[in-house]
Amino acid sequence: MAAKRKSQANKQETVVCFGGGNGITKYLIGPLKKDYRIVAATSMVDSGMSAGQLRQDLGVLPPGDLVKQLAAVSDAREWKVKLWKKRFGREQFLAGHVGHTFGNLYLAGIEHITGSFAKALSEAEIFLELGRHRAYPATTDNVQLCAELENGEVIVGEDEIDEPAKHDPGLKIKRVFLEPEAKAFKPLLKEIAAAKAVIFGPSDFYSSLVPCLLPAGISKALAKTSAKKIFIANTVTESGETGGFSIEDFVSVLEKYMGCPLDHIIMQYPPVSEESVLRWKKNYPSIMETVAGRVGLDGRKFIKTDIMMPDGEFGYDPKKIKKAIIRLINNRKKKKQKF
């Protein structure tokens, strides 16, 4: 009976999830949405593929990652979610994508006709029958993601950072910023203030996760909230973004843009094998090497646990991630770890 009451209480607690792409929807939002009220947040800086073309052609905000998150938090009937994800048209994009998703066209079309992204988001919430969950943009200002490289060169556009075509991917990123500067989406700030936990990732680091923290107001809200701040650390480095990064590098950079420390970092242990990395590179050529941590990490902050799929399969195990997060949110301690 007590366990049932605890479960019911959890469902009233809000967990804010920062990130973009398919990782956060598959590995985080899906597993947690039955146990907590989820607020997903994404950066709105896409400049490539379907979202980028709609942005360029119609002058609208890029809907791509938000469309994925809206589907993930939806309580709608199955046919609506399938339609939301359905692709139409024959335009060719990178990574084998063809056409535009219905969700991209829906958000872009309403914003283009009404001139209001808020109106488009509100209509999407109705169509997808959102109940207690929400998906919010980090900002509704029209911005581009920029990166200053170690040689002083500045590159513009999320797609060029994610898939380098015009610059040397071996050059390290010195900093990322928005052009022009942007203000945070106010409803998201309120959710951060009231959250039980704020979770970062899993996502591409500089092109999806860090941009969520750049709008003015986000770091201030994170510093003020009493929510636990948990990072699901990257298990491999990526060409053009994080080559050569250690676990400490990921944490140091993320905390810099957060403006406050993390409470916990969930890191893969044992580290991904070199054999697995070589095998995964055949399908994901941007992968570089496994992420390792140095000896002497604080075991109360750095939580080492196995969060990967079994048998060397690429990707995280949603059940393992959920178990680790719930344990941290509920203050359940594991046996003391030694590094």
Residue 18 lies in a domain: yes
For residue 206, pLDDT beyond 50: yes
What whole-number distance in Å separates Cα of residue 16 and Cα of residue 194?
Answer: 10
Residue 218 lies in a domain: yes
pLDDT the model gives residue 166: 82
- Average pLDDT of the chain is 90
What whole-number distance in Å separates Cα of residue 177 and Cα of residue 213?
Answer: 10
Residue 155 lies in a domain: no
Question: Which residue is it, tokens 């219905």?
Answer: 102
Domain count for the chain, please give it: 1
**Residue 22: which pLDDT band, with cuts at 50, 70 and 90?**
confident
Contact 72, 84 (CB under 8 A): no
Residue 112 lies in a domain: yes
**Residue 338: which pLDDT band, with cuts at 50, 70 and 90?**
very low
**Residue 253: which pLDDT band, with cuts at 50, 70 and 90?**
very high
pLDDT the model gives residue 8: 53
Contact 292, 271 (CB under 8 A): yes
Q: List Cα–Cα distances, 266 to 5, 27, 129, 149, in angstroms.
A: 27, 13, 33, 28
**Residue 90: which pLDDT band, with cuts at 50, 70 and 90?**
confident
In 65-100, which positions are buried (b, 16+ CB within 10 angstroms) versus exposed (e)?
Answer: bbbbbbbbbbebeeebbeebeebeeeeeeeeeeebb
Q: What percent of the chain has pLDDT above 70?
A: 92
* CATH code of 18's domain: 3.40.50.10680
Other C-beta atoms closer than 10 Å to the C-beta of 193 total 15
For residue 178, pLDDT beyond 90: yes
Contact 235, 203 (CB under 8 A): no
Residue 156 lies in a domain: no
- Residue 328 CA neighbour count, 13 Å, CB half: 29
Mean pLDDT of 121-149: 97
Residue 58 lies in a domain: yes
**Residue 336: which pLDDT band, with cuts at 50, 70 and 90?**
very low
Better-scored residue on pLDDT, 7 or 56: 56
End-to-end CA distance of the chain: 39
> pLDDT tens digits, residue range 262-299?
999 999 998 888 899 999 998 888 899 999 766 678 98
Strand spans (E) along the chain:
14-18, 37-42, 87-92, 98-101, 134-137, 144-149, 154-156, 173-179, 197-200, 228-232, 236-238, 264-268, 287-290, 302-305
pLDDT the model gives residue 165: 82
Residue 336 lies in a domain: no
CA Rg value for the chain = 19
The domain containing residue 116 runs over which residues?
Answer: 2-141+183-329
Mean pLDDT of 153-164: 90
What whole-number distance in Å separates Cα of residue 103 and Cα of residue 83?
Answer: 8
Residue 271 lies in a domain: yes
